[in-house]
Amino acid sequence: MKLSVIVPCYNEVETIETLIAAVRKAPINELELVVVDDGSTDGSRDLLRILDQSNHSDLRIIFHDRNQGKGAALRTGFLAATGDICIVQDADLEYDPQEFPIVIGPILEGKADVVFGSRFQGGRPHRVVYFWHRMGNAFLTLLSNMFTDLNLSDMETCYKAFRREVIQKIQIRENRFGFEPEVTAKVAKMNLRIYEVGISYYGRTYGEGKKIGWRDGFRAIYCILKYNLMPR
């Protein structure tokens, strides 16, 4: 099976080239990289344009004219994907592409349609960073579970893998980090086989470039209510 790795990129000039190299080293037989630059202003675009001229058949780079947000970049990337399975990979090196087989395993085995990679299960390495981020994640996951009737431990995780025909059926409306609760609500309504597996997590600090903030937390609450309560 071919894996499409969707990489939203915004101002990640320090990590994007390293990330692309790490994805290429992942233990996957057939892989395509779809990088969506979301209006970067730090030199990421110039670097990606150089990489785009390298004639690597496994790499496709798409440029947004202006910054729209992670959800918008993923929407573009999913529509461009051609693999049997799609997985989200942030450009910031917080998640390890060596764990792709763990995340997509239940799909490859024919057991799952969607897989969430949980940072809080499985006993894998987890960088200790922010207490209140962890509490906020737990609250949002609990609130989401109350509406979806799923028993996820990490709704906000980056590592979400989908059979391509599943994710391409979903109309993603959220442009920023609201993608996470939106797509969770929508897959929960589709009567799909959803699995969760434990993954490692190498979190960044804000000084190292972390972008999500408290406003995104409030937006997530709004999205949980909106996409779970709205008609299918």
35-81 residue pLDDT tens: 999 999 999 999 999 998 887 889 999 999 999 999 999 999 999 99
Distances (CA, A) of 35 to 74, 141, 158: 9, 28, 15
String of DSSP letters for 123-162: T--B----HHHHHHHHHHHHHHHHHH----S-TT-S-EEE
Cα dihedral sign, 224-225-228-231:
negative
- pLDDT at residue 215 tops 90: no
Q: What is the pLDDT of residues 8-37, one digit of tens each?
A: 999 999 999 999 999 999 999 999 999 999
Residues 6+ apart with CB under 8 A from 211: 10
Give all domains of the chain, ordered by start, each with its CATH number: 2-229 (3.90.550.10)
Dist. CA 144–CA 19, nearest whole Å: 30
- pLDDT category of residue 124 using cuts at 50, 70 and 90: confident
Q: What is the DSSP letter of 218?
A: H
Dist. CA 202–CA 46, nearest whole Å: 27
CB–CB of 178/72 below 8 Å?
A: no
Chain mean pLDDT for the chain: 92
The pLDDT score that the predictor gives to residue 178 is: 94
